[in-house]
Structure 1
Amino acid sequence: MKITQVDTVHAAAYPNILWVQIHTDTGLVGLGETFRGAQAVQAQIHELIAPYLLGKDPLAIEAHSQHLLYGYVGFASSGAETRAASAIDIALWDLFGQVTQQPLNQLLGGAVREHVPVYNTCAGYTYNKAPQRRSVTQASADAAPEGPYEDQVAFVKRPAALAESLLSEGYKAMKIWPFDPFAQASGGQSISARDLDTALEPFREIRRAVGYEMDIMVELHSMWNLPMAVRIAQALEEFKPYWIEDPIQMSNLDTIAEFRSRTRVPVCGSETLATVQPFIQLLKNNAVDYVMLDLGWVGGLSEARKIAALAKAFHKPVAPHDCTGPVVLTASLHLAMSTTNVVLQEVVRAYLGGWYRELVTRLPDVRAGHATVPPGAGLGLALSPALLHRPDVTIRSTKL
């Protein structure tokens, strides 16, 4: 078997997402996905990766992973080179599953659980759908809702009702980011006592409404300097958050470790890191309590499973990221199904009930706070034929 064609698929309506389809001479097609900078990733795939892959064995996954991730430039970062390699790697694993007629979690060692606990990231339908992520202040409560899950508006305007809604659907944990507007206003350099108190109000309302039935994750999006991140974390301690995520840019590991030493809130990081090397240092510095990774940015399944094994050696749990696309979510769930130290998988119920349904043939089943992978070989899904025939979709091919 050999690779005969590499396609990229891009829809103007979803400008952040790029899909990859790898064709073989047997007729099997593997599917991959990545997110952000779609045009740059597309160029990387067709100018450098496809010429390397064409004619090669698609099942030499580790060899291809090493070649693509550890080139002369682009290694140990989540830039275009790594995002392209991530999408390719996911597609190759999908092919492996189809060739063997096994689901990916079986190829990764077999299922260690029947379903994966999930938490809801409280984004709305259009968060991350446009080229620029929609901020809390842009998510106006006056805008016409697209459906029942405008959770980004709700965590500011109606946090108690939001928590009650999530509990009614079986979710036991939720993630919010009410500090972002104040970081945007000051460049992350300062938050006043008044603004800090305002940003804490959703936590008060959630605790008054549902007590500790709901765990709350706090996302800071790497927007703050160290003193302000510490100030926020210390103010949050009374609400007992499950974790505080990416409080500062995850580049200076000594500073991250210092942050962790100055708060009692567990620290989670980081979806922004790529390949094994930064995670080695993150864990050696004892800088985080939870290891987060994004399969579409970190190097695909090949790197993610190594990072999960590394985290296990340091007795740290893993929580795969997804606020981006249904293929990465599904691949992450296959990893979680077969990995003992995965503790939670991120999902966005607005996406699962909304635009994700327009993209793929089937989705993971999420109910009662848990998720299962789609049945079938490989990922268990493919791009929707209707998507491929949309007028705003561009398919670019490089052939043998």
Structure 2
Amino acid sequence: MTTTIRSVETFRLRVPRDNGAPTERFRAAPRVRSIYPTADELLLVRIATDDHVGWGEALAPASPEAPGALIDEVFAPFLVGVDIAAGARPLTRRLQQTGRERGHLSGIQADAIAAVDIALWDLFGQVTALPVKTLLGGANVDAVPVYMSEVNGASAHAKAATAALLYERGMERFKVHLVGPPEIALAEYDVVRSEVGTSRLALDAHWVHGAGDARRLARGLDERGAWFLEAPLAPEDVDGHVRLAAYSGTSIAIGEAMRHRFEFAQWAGAGAMAIAQPDLGRTGITEAISIATIMGAHHIPLAPHHSMASGIAYAAALHVSAAVDDLLAVEWGPRIAERSDSFLDVAFLEPIGTSGAWIEGGVVAVPAGAGLGIHVDEEAVRRLAAG
């Protein structure tokens, strides 16, 4: 059996949603700072030896072509001919150094490395016949708690109805996306709260607020016993988050826009966060483990973020989550399976149930097979990538 990397391939997938045929590729939501694609845009990476294949993914919903080109032009030539037998970590660290003066741990460079890193860990697991969670030193749990973040709808009552259906099935952790002014957001929060009983309910503000509105929102959430407040201020405003965290009794959750341990260390050291939310599609596995170690030193739990990537990045998040010492819960929603089922066996993405009810408020089992433990339909990937 050879352990030499023979090929590195990237695949840009565009998976349509059930929203008609939009004329534009991107759309900006009211009050939200970012743009979003009108279809699910994915970047997958396949790294292979003669005998084994590893799959990875970057969270790159608005520009998968950019990190894909970096992988094709820079990382692939570096990796082909390299032996995977020593593991993924040293290769990832070397890739990080290739762009030291070009934002080597941030932005598109980091997204590209994240995809390659996940694929390297999957490949190393295939070669060793061990799950990634074992390669990381062992798992603390076989299943991880999740929270439902796709509490969607055109109105607060529609959001509440979505949450109510899952609450009836046993889900006990939710996050609602509310970007209106504080008074409106709190009124909508109350509507959803009325349908989910004593469940934990968090609010994601998508970075829309200034300092005054963020304080008013935090005060209202304190009164309501909210689970956490995510992304209340601009993502570059460390000092603002420090002041808000000191003011708020509700835990401030931050991290989806960050990509490396130095950012997380800065925010944690300043007292700007109470919950860390690294996204494996932006950090990869190697960096996520470093982030978890630093967060552990600050007694800050992890709640891995997951929004618009597929089940490949989600599987990586499950393995990391099972291996870290202080896990709060992992973001989850049915759309992860929906955007993945054309090329991936998505059975592992369904919360574990007994007699139709989800147990322990909603948990997802960590795949037990070699590497990530997932099954990718390579022919389907190639077909989708070809358009």
Q: Is the 8 A contact 1:42 1:84 kept in 2?
A: yes
> Which runs of no fewer than 5 residues in structure 1 stay unpaired?
123-150, 183-190, 396-400
Residue type of the alignment partner of 1:382 = H
1:94 Cα deviation (Å)? 0.3
SS of residue matched to 1:357: coil
* Paired position in structure 2 for 1:53: 79
CA contact (8 A) 1:326 1:363 kept: no
Structure 1 CA distance, aligned partners of 2:346 and 2:373? 8
Picking from 22, 25, 34, the partner of 2:58 is: 34
Could you say which residue in structure 2 is the equivalent of 1:161? 161
Distance 2:131 2:87 in 1: 18
Structure 2 unaligned residues grouped into runs of 5+: 16-38, 353-357
Q: Secondary structure at the match of 1:377?
A: coil
Instruction: Give the alignment partner of residue 103 of structure 2, picking from 56, 71, 74.
Output: 74
CA contact (8 A) 1:96 1:378 kept: yes
What is the Cα deviation at residue 378 of structure 1?
A: 0.4
State the structure with bigger RCO (CA 8 A, min sep 6), 1 or 2: 1
Match of 1:62 in 2: 89
CA contact (8 A) 2:58 2:313 kept: yes
Contact 1:117 1:370 in 2 (8 A): yes
2:201 maps to which of 216, 229, 234: 216
CA contact (8 A) 1:20 1:88 kept: yes
In 2, Cα distance between equivalents of 1:175 and 1:107:
32
Paired residue type of 2:134: Q
| TM-aligned CA deviation for residue 208 of structure 1 | 3.1
How far apart are residue 178 of structure 1 and its match?
1.9
Aligned residue in 1 for 2:10: 8
Aligned residues: 347
CA distance in 2, matches of 1:363, 1:38: 26
The letter of the residue matching 1:375 is: A
* 2: CA distance, partners of 1:285 / 1:22: 39
State the one-letter code of the partner of 1:316: I
Q: Say whether the 8 Å CA contact 2:245–2:251 is kept in structure 1.
A: yes
Measured in 1, the distance between the counterparts of 2:156 and 2:380 equals 34
TM-score (norm 1): 0.82
> How far has the Cα of 1:174 moved from its partner?
0.9
| Residues 1:201 and 2:194 are matched in the alignment | no
- After superposing on structure 2, the runs of 4+ consecutive aligned residues of structure 1 that deviate more than 4 Å are none
Q: Take 1:389 and 1:54, find their aligned partners in 2: how far apart are those partners?
A: 20
Task: Return closer, same or farther for 1:375/1:63 CA change in 2, 3 Å cut-off.
Answer: closer
Q: How high is the TM-score relative to the length of structure 2?
A: 0.84
- Correspondences of 1:92-131 after superposition (within 5 Å): 92-122=120-150
The equivalent residue for 1:134 is: none
| Shift, 1:218, TM fit | 0.8
DSSP-derived class of the 2:46 partner: strand
SS at match of 2:218: helix
Compared CA separation, residues 287 and 63, structure 1 to 2 (3 A): same
1:12: how far off? 2.9
- What are the superposed Cα offsets for residues 19-45 of structure 1, whole Å, 9 maximum, x if unpaired? 000011x32111000122200011100
Shift of 1:82: 0.5
Q: 1:161 to 1:93 in 2, by over 3 A?
A: same
Map of 2:386 onto structure 1: 394
Residues 116-265 of structure 1: pairs in structure 2 closer than 5 A: 116-122=144-150, 151-153=151-153, 156-179=156-179, 182=180, 191=181, 196-212=182-198, 214-265=199-250
d(CA) in 1 for partners of 2:121, 2:155: 37
Q: Name the CA distance, whole Å, in 2 between partners of 1:67 and 1:326.
A: 27
Equivalent position amino acid for 1:19 in 2: L
Query: How far 1:328 sits from its partner (Å)?
Result: 0.8
| Distance (whole Å) between structure 1 residues aligned to residue 41 and residue 130 of structure 2 | 30
